[in-house]
């Protein structure tokens, strides 16, 4: 296997999530050789992180042509994901693309086709559904697949944030033209759905949804604002909101490979206007023998529920939350691992898959997985409009 530090990365995008990728890669020993964005922001991020190749004026083609970059990380706004993915794949670069993979399934199918065309010797492609690599997610996945919880009955949960609570809160994701027609459910709800799908080992095949826009009109600055940053409230203009603030989604899942989670029903509440909730991706999986519950804001603990025995709190690194995730956790019990660590574990899995010549198990989300999530988004929009179940 090629040592990971011999693989070299290039990053497109300098907003909130771009430096998260950079930090995780540097922790793995991966060299980040290129950064691409506006000239000013690319220079600023490049200087901060010691990145030698600066590609200003969004000149991604020049970065793709660099012989010093093997893997491209796409952390740009949603509307340009597909064209940037296709160009990188055409240049023979491996790709890790932020979610969602694209704006429509017509677009994302092009990526699926391009990856398939590359075949076994073609570039590796991953979508950045990093929640799969929280140790708790992997632990619950192992428990479900083994039958520890019995036959799975249903899943319930939520993903709540409050960073877009006020009418003056603004980010490009609020605009359908920039982020897609589905915002809260598309941006954070798909993280919830992908994590639950991964744990169950099954994909959602039909949905019933209701979405709402509370702020019909918002106020925005004349320029752009990075995710989670505050705008200058003295220089704001009104604009009509064409994406949702919150929603409720019912899902029916298909068959699981192991047989313990066939035809599971799930329900999720999604909101970016839930005051007091910063980043709470939470769900419970309920089976005939027991249940597991987890929240991203308390990532190192799983609540194990039983009917006829005492409930337990499983802590990462201790018995019951140790052996199944040994390859995806680096620190001893009590030394918390969270958001930045799951990014590191995700990129380690992708880069090891590249280094091994695709011989490791691809636990990460593929182009086909990313395409399916966009299918779900389109079905959710259709369901909310028609007020009926829609097949995916």
CA 20, 22, 26: angle at the middle one, nearest 5? 120
Does the pLDDT value for residue 2 go beyond 80?
no
The tens digit of pLDDT for each residue in 118-155 reads 999 999 999 999 999 999 999 999 999 999 999 999 99
Strands 152-160 and 280-287: antiparallel
Helix (H) / strand (E) element for 206: namely strand 204-212
Query: What pLDDT, on the 0 to 100 scale, is given for residue 5?
Result: 81
Q: 80: which DSSP letter?
A: G
Say how far apart CA 241 and CA 156 lie, in whole Å. Answer: 29
Query: What pLDDT, on the 0 to 100 scale, is given for residue 235?
Result: 78
Helix (H) / strand (E) element for 174: namely none
State percent of the chain over pLDDT 90. 94
CATH numbers and ranges of domains, the chain: 4-130 (3.40.50.720), 132-335+371-386 (3.30.360.10)
Q: What is the mean pLDDT of residues 99-128?
A: 97
pTM here is 0.95
Q: Tokens at residue 208, please? A: 């019933």
Say how far apart CA 253 and CA 249 lie, in whole Å. Answer: 13
Query: What pLDDT, on the 0 to 100 scale, is given for residue 334?
Result: 94
Does the pLDDT value for residue 108 go beyond 80?
yes
Query: What pLDDT, on the 0 to 100 scale, is given for residue 232?
Result: 63
The tens digit of pLDDT for each residue in 249-306 reads 999 999 999 999 999 999 999 999 999 999 999 999 999 999 999 999 999 999 999 9
List the alpha helices (DSSP H) in the chain: 17-28, 39-49, 60-64, 81-90, 105-118, 135-146, 176-179, 184, 190-200, 339-355, 367-386
Q: What is the mean pLDDT of residues 175-179?
A: 94
Residues β-bridged to residue 96: 73, 126
Residues β-bridged to residue 247: 211, 270
Measured in whole angstroms, how far is the alpha carbon of residue 369 from the centre of its chain? 11
The tens digit of pLDDT for each residue in 231-248 reads 666 679 999 999 999 999
Say how far apart CA 161 and CA 274 lie, in whole Å. Answer: 6
Instruction: Give the gyration radius of the chain's Cα atoms.
Output: 21
């Amino acid at each position: 296997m090629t040592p990971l530090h011999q693989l070299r990365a290039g990053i497109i995008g300098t907003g909130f999530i771009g430096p998260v990728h950079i930090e995780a890669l540097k922790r793995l020993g991966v060299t980040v050789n290129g950064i691409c964005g506006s000239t000013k922001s690319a220079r600023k991020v490049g200087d901060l992180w010691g990145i030698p190749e600066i590609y200003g004026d969004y000149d991604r083609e020049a970065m793709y042509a660099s012989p010093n970059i093997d893997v491209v990380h796409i952390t740009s706004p949603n509307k340009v994901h597909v064209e940037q993915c296709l160009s990188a794949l055409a240049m023979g670069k491996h790709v890790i693309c932020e979610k969602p993979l694209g704006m429509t399934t017509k677009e994302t199918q092009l990526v699926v086709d391009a990856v398939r065309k590359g075949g076994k010797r073609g570039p590796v492609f991953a979508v950045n559904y990093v929640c799969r690599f929280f140790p708790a997610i992997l632990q619950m996945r192992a428990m479900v697949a083994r039958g520890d919880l019995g036959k799975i009955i249903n899943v319930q949960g939520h993903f709540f944030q409050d960073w877009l609570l006020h009418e003056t809160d603004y980010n490009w994701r609020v605009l359908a033209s920039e982020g897609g027609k589905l915002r809260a459910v598309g941006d954070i709800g798909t993280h919830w759905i992908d994590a639950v799908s991964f744990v169950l080992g099954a994909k959602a095949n039909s949905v019933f949804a209701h979405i709402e826009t509370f702020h019909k009109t918002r106020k925005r600055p004349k320029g752009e604002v990075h995710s989670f940053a505050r705008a200058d409230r003295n220089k704001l203009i009104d604009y009509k909101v064409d994406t949702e603030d919150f929603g409720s989604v019912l899902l029916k899942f298909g068959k699981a490979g192991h047989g313990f989670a066939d035809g599971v029903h799930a329900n999720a509440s999604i909101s970016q206007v839930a005051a007091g909730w910063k980043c709470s991706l939470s769900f419970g999986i309920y089976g005939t023998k027991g249940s597991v519950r987890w929240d991203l804001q308390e990532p190192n603990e799983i609540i194990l529920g039983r009917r006829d025995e005492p409930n337990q709190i499983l802590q990462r690194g201790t018995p019951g939350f140790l052996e199944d995730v040994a390859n995806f956790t680096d620190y001893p019990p009590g030394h918390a691992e969270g958001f930045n660590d799951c990014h590191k574990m995700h990129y380690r899995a992708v880069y090891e898959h590249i280094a091994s010549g695709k011989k490791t198990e691809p636990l990460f989300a593929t182009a086909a997985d990313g395409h399916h999530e966009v299918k779900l988004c389109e079905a959710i929009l259709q369901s909310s409009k028609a007020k009926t179940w829609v097949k995916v």
